[in-house]
Structure 1
Amino acid sequence: MLGDSITAAYGLAHEQGLPVQLEAALRAKGLPVTVLDAGVSGDTTAGGRSRLDWALADKPDAVIVALGGNDGLRALDPKDTEANLGAILDALKARNLPALLAGMLAPPNLGAEYGREFADSFTRLHQAHPEAVFYPFLLDGVAGDAALNQADRIHPNPQGVKVIVARMLPAVEALLRKTEPS
């Protein structure tokens, strides 16, 4: 999982984090996987792009790209977010690594126009990279729900991580099917 603080289990014990919980859910379904945590708190899409080679050093069979939240929080230009994520997806495709792109939404305080532009960048990425599995919103069912977030209202708490795992599990299973020999 190439990501930011949500992947890096910010504010949680390591075992409560998204990679560990996702791995446990997949193993409970009989899938012998290891989910590698390549999350760096505070990372932007530019940061993820710059450290892609480092993140791939463990030679994963597939990659979940879960970046963009910090771009939105910092009101970075959605065109830059799109370009960085596009470059990451291009690099993964060139290495024949199946990818899942987890989308993100901008915080509502940045205005409707910025929010549309930001969301549209993920839609365009999905259209430009049909080979990648697309999960439209990483925080689906969790964002805005105080009971599922830490006090900062940005990072999921352990219950929020469980919701994320349950909701994105079908998309991750679709990603894993792409790693199977045809």
Structure 2
Amino acid sequence: MVPFMTGARAAPDGPIKLVALGDSLTAGYRLPADAAFPTVLERLLKAKGADVTVGNAGVSGDTATGGLDRVDWSVPDGTAGVILELGANDMLRGTDPKVTAGALSAIIERLKARGIPVLLTGMQAAPNLGPDYKARFDAIFPALAKRYGLTLYPFFLDGIIGDRAQHLDDGLHPNRQGVETIAARILPTVESFLGSLRQGATR
């Protein structure tokens, strides 16, 4: 396995260390630890032959601003890459998209300063928030990906929206089956992200 660089620091030989920084969708709300998104994703990656660990830095109820407040200690040194999944709670609270975009931008800048690449996962606003809010909120993620040259997975909940069988009884959070779908859908993008980390480590 090619050793990775985190800024000017070479990571020791061993698994590639990813961290999923997010909210309840990452944390595994009301699910056992083995059914949380980072654990399921790690299992799928290992099944494809990747020597990787995916740390769970999800906090239920967290907003993008909350993620910014804790990013420095939630992402330890030696992390090769971050899967950034925040924004859903901002949307549910009707937070001004400028605030959400600013907090996500600051998180990306903090990680960039540490030499840690980011895979950004997008979120989409519910239609009942109105077309103007939805347009402004949905535009946050592709705009940030373009600005910072990030790998973008357009919609974290792709494949489960509208399917009650893949949600808990609250209708908001994925159940075990829903997490499996989310992880399977994002898997090719994460594999591509890992490939970019390998290329960066050999430069």
TM-score, shorter chain, exceeding 0.5: yes
2:13 aligned partner: none
The code of the aligned residue for 1:89 comes to I
| TM-score normalized by the length of structure 2 | 0.86
The code of the aligned residue for 2:116 comes to L
Q: Could you tell me which of 71, 78, 89 is aligned with 1:59? A: 78
Q: Aligned ranges for residues 139-154 of structure 1 at < 5 Å?
A: 139-154=157-172
Cα distance per residue 1:39-72 (max 9 Å; x no partner): 0000000000110011122531110000000000
1:30 aligned partner: 49
2:134 aligned partner: 115
Q: Aligned ranges for residues 28-177 of structure 1 at < 5 Å?
A: 28-57=47-76, 59-130=78-149, 132-177=150-195
2:7 aligned partner: none
The code of the aligned residue for 1:85 comes to L
Structure 1 residue 104, shift from structure 2 partner: 0.3
Residues of 1 paired with 2:53 and 2:142: CA distance?
A: 29
Aligned residues: 181
1:98 touches 1:178 (CA, 8 Å); kept in 2?
A: no
2:40 aligned partner: 21
Residues of 1 paired with 2:61 and 2:162: CA distance?
A: 20
Residues of 2 paired with 1:47 and 1:173: CA distance?
A: 28
What root-mean-square deviation, in Å, do the aligned CA atoms of Structure 1 and Structure 2 show?
A: 1.0
Q: Which runs of 4+ in 1 moved over 2 A?
A: none
The higher radius of gyration belongs to: 2
Cα distance per residue 1:97-127 (max 9 Å; x no partner): 1110000011222112111110011121111
Q: Secondary structure at the match of 2:24?
A: coil
Structure 1 residue 77, shift from structure 2 partner: 0.5
Structure 1 residue 179, shift from structure 2 partner: 2.2
Residues of 2 paired with 1:27 and 1:9: CA distance?
A: 20
Q: Percent identity?
A: 49
| TM-score normalized by the length of structure 1 | 0.96
The code of the aligned residue for 2:176 comes to P
Structure 2 unaligned spans of 5+? 1-19
